[in-house]
A and B are shown apart, each in its own frame.
Chain A
Amino acid sequence: DAGVTQSPTHLIKTRGQQVTLRCSPKSGHDTVSWYQQALGQGPQFIFQYYEEEERQRGNFPDRFSGHQFPNYSSELNVNALLLGDSALYLCASSFSTEQFFGPGTRLTVL
């Protein structure tokens, strides 16, 4: 049984560019949450998708958007990248309250 998968593993972009990160949840999980983890910090909640809709959002600007597909996989899009967007982006899938994280995408903005 595959766990949560994310792609790509690493990404380097320049300021102003746009990026799309992808996540496939654990089998049987229908909810996907996205987190941003800066160096030395805990994961910060970006938003959560359930039944293809954004169910909850954290304190992130509209430059951060997402999508969930009928197969429960999800995308995170970030527009107009800033240097401060450099972080590890984690996807977590869940069916009830326990969340399981994917390996993350490490984004570097130059």
Chain B
Amino acid sequence: RKEVEQDPGPFNVPEGATVAFNCTYSNSASQSFFWYRQDCRKEPKLLMSVYSSGNEDGRFTAQLNRASQYISLLIRDSKLSDSATYLCAVNSPDNFNKFYFGSGTKLNVKP
């Protein structure tokens, strides 16, 4: 079983829509969780951390569900510029700086 799994998509949504992605992780002892955004042929850019209490940054909301071992990312009022691949990252319990990444979920926001 992979350490981190994501639905590859693509998610095709119209501008203004609300879209949500989930990411499941296998090790219940993981402590740090992040969402990254990656544009085509570019490096991943840190989007937001995921805290136990949830985290909101403008149109973006990240949540952690420890019982079911998944994290989620909600994007409200989608913009064309939100089109990208969204990667989740989960740390290894034996090294808080070692991360496992999912393969990413591709989002296409259409006019």
Contact = CB atoms under 8 A, between A and B. Distances in A.
A42 B46 contact: no
A49 B62 CA distance: 29
Interface residues of A, number: 25
Contacts of B4: 42
B97 A100 contact: no
B99 A45 contact: yes
B95 A48 contact: yes
Contacts of B94: 56
Interface string A6-28: 00000000000000000000000
Contact of A103 (B43, B87, B89, B103): B43
A32 B87 CA distance: 20
Mostly, the A contact residues are strand
B87 A42 contact: yes
A40 B6 CA distance: 12
A40 B103 contact: yes
A86 B49 CA distance: 30
Contact of B43 (A31, A97, A104): A104
B46 A99 contact: yes
Given A97-B32, A97-B91, A98-B34, A33 B97 contact: yes
A31 B99 CA distance: 13
Given A33-B98, A56-B97, A98 B103 contact: no
Nearest to A39: B41
Given A48-B97, A103-B43, 7 more contacts: A33-B98, A35-B101, A41-B103, A43-B87, A56-B95, A101-B36, A101-B44
Interface of A: 31, 33, 35, 40-45, 48, 50, 55-56, 58, 90, 94, 97-104, 106
